[in-house]
Amino acid sequence: MTLVFLIAIVIIIYYYTNNYKMKNVPSEDKTALKELEIKLIEVNSKTRVILSNNETIKMMKLRKISDALNNKKDILFFTSGKRINDNVFIILTNGNFVALNDKTREVIKIPYEKINDIKKNKISVKINNYTFAISNNDLNIFCEKLEDQIEANKNISIHINKEMKKDVADKILKLQSLYEEGILTEYEFNIKKKELLDKKED
């Protein structure tokens, strides 16, 4: 009986402490958190259910999400799920897959170019070595959007590589003309050309 009473007191103190903290958040912060909430609702209409109807709990969750993200405007999709036994917020941004543990605040952030393995079944998805259980409706949408982002990232990388190769080729042609005009010696031309080709391979 005493143990139950102590646990109840700890929970009440935790709740009221956090409630007090959220009531004393500066108005600029509250505005930023409200803007984040609007963005999350834009990308998933179930956001209100995910975040909670209780204003204090919702604001605490929004604060955690805000702290985990660099740019709140980059959010493409948002949902929640489970990793092991913990609740996680799952977010797709323009550059990364992000999973935020609601309890521990641990953040898993994987750039799309580093995702090399996706396995999906009826209730979960495995991304590299991390498995997340996501509700069925959101799981399908999430996997589609994740695959789209990975593909878009590949296309951007291919485009950048083409531009870099073109840039290197143009510079070598300029060096060639400088060599032919006698401005560069053969030795200088070969050194500069090697530097450019080495940079291209990086």
pLDDT digits (tens, 9 = 90+) for 142-190: 999 999 888 888 777 666 667 777 777 788 888 888 878 777 788 888 8
Burial letters for 45-66: b for 16+ Cβ neighbours within 10 Å, e otherwise?
eebeebbeeeebebbbbbbbbe
Residue 107 in tokens: 């953040």
Cα R_g (the chain), whole angstroms: 25
The larger pLDDT score, comparing residue 102 to residue 197, is at 102
pLDDT digits (tens, 9 = 90+) for 80-117: 999 988 999 999 998 899 999 999 999 999 999 888 88
SS3 149: helix
Please say whether the beta carbons of 100 and 68 come within 8 A. yes
CA-based nearest residue to 47, from 27, 33, 26, 29: 33
Report the range of poorest mean pLDDT among 20-24, 61-65, 73-77, 113-117: 20-24
Each domain of the chain, given as residue ranges in start order, spans 1-68
The larger pLDDT score, comparing residue 65 to residue 26, is at 65
CA-based nearest residue to 81, from 122, 35, 135: 135
Residue 126 in this model has a pLDDT that exceeds 60: yes
Residue 151, C-beta contacts closer than 8 angstroms, at least 6 positions apart = none
Q: Is the pTM of this model over 0.75?
A: no
Residue 52 in this model has a pLDDT that exceeds 60: yes
